[in-house]
Amino acid sequence: MISKAIYKSISRIIVMLLILSIAGVISCGRVNSPSAVISDIPADEPAVPVPPPAGELPAIEKIVPKNNCVYDGVFLDEDTITSSKIDTFAAISGKTPDIILKFLAFQAMGTSGGFPMSEATTVSDKGSVLFIKLEPWSWGGADDDSFSLEKITAGDFDGRLASFAESAASFGKPLFVSFGHEMNASWYPWGGDPELYKQAYRHVHDLMSLYATNITWVWNPNVSGDAIGDYYPGDDYVDWVAADGYNTEDYGISWQSAEQLFDPMIDELESYGKPVMIGETGCDANNTYDEVIRKPNWLYSAVGWLVNKKKSDGSDNLIKAFVYFDFDKTEDSAVKKWAISSSEAKIKYNQAFTDNSSYFKGIDP
């Protein structure tokens, strides 16, 4: 169904054209006095294209996990995804990752939709699937309201979202997409308002589903923050559920295993009846001992726990995918050494994949 906000956006465009025509400001296909019309839609936001008739859309193509199987993934860095970067990480784990993660801010999408076609093709050529996390901001911190949930729900950015979806459809292969991940935490501007978040999520989902049938939607809270249930947009809007969590002793937090990080939330995620993913995880290292002893052991035990965690009825493994954040970055003036960089860490990560190789059966891109 087309949401009310999408109808509102289309109706707004029609009304604007009628006003312009009556005022006689449209001449020879040009708008001579655009300032005569007041709108909260950005001036350079493209018009919402007419979606194809439902009968002309390809069959819905979702990513469905295999039994007794886990898809491994990685976030490489903040620059362009390249084949060589994928190969470099594959040398650590001993296999090409099934999932490659990319963060895409609304600002970076621009007014043309900004679907990363070249990177998606690179990932697909490697036999992997691209996971895009759509972030409604301009990288301005928790108070950044440039792409607020209110504006999204009102349809102000439908042009770029529809353009993104059209390009995703033309790519033609399955994708993971999330909207506003970690919405239950306080560090992103889209967090803290469950009802408004759900409205915006549903709007984005409904709009993009008019153009693309190859998107697998991931709802992705964080292990820290508000109770997640209030932010759940509904079964019809979610294909996979995920949780993000990192092991760091910064901020006075104790060292935690992957099981300690995720187990409290995993049972709740299972209750939604959707495939479960670890959307992001990583292990910090604050000193040499961490880098050569504790972090390597954390990585080995984390992979073992992730692949062997069973559903409550014991019928299958529960966690069907995970993404490792293999990139060091500075947050709040503290360096987070998430990357698997020491030889000891690389050996242990590789060993974890070798010892659990029966679960890593590959993904169908």
What span, in angstroms and rounded, lies between the C-alpha atoms of 62 and 314?
Answer: 25
Regions in the chain scoring below 50 on pLDDT: 1-39
Give the model confidence (pLDDT) of 27-57 as tens digits.
233 222 223 233 467 777 878 888 999 888 9
Q: Percent of the chain beyond pLDDT 90?
A: 80
pLDDT of residue 334: 86
In the chain, the largest separation of any two C-alpha atoms, in whole Å, equals 75
- Predicted confidence at residue 40, as pLDDT, reads 61
pLDDT of 25: 30
8 Å CB contact between 129 and 174: yes
SS3 state at 174: coil
Per-residue pLDDT tens over the stretch 291-318? 999 999 999 999 999 999 999 999 999 9
Q: Is 7 helix (H, G, I), strand (E, B) or coil?
A: helix
DSSP 88-114: HHHHHHTS--SEEEEEEEHHHHGGG--
The residue to which tokens 């947050």 are assigned = 331
| Per-domain residue ranges of the chain | 71-359
What does pLDDT average to over the chain?
Answer: 89
Is 71-359 a domain of CATH 3.20.20.80? yes
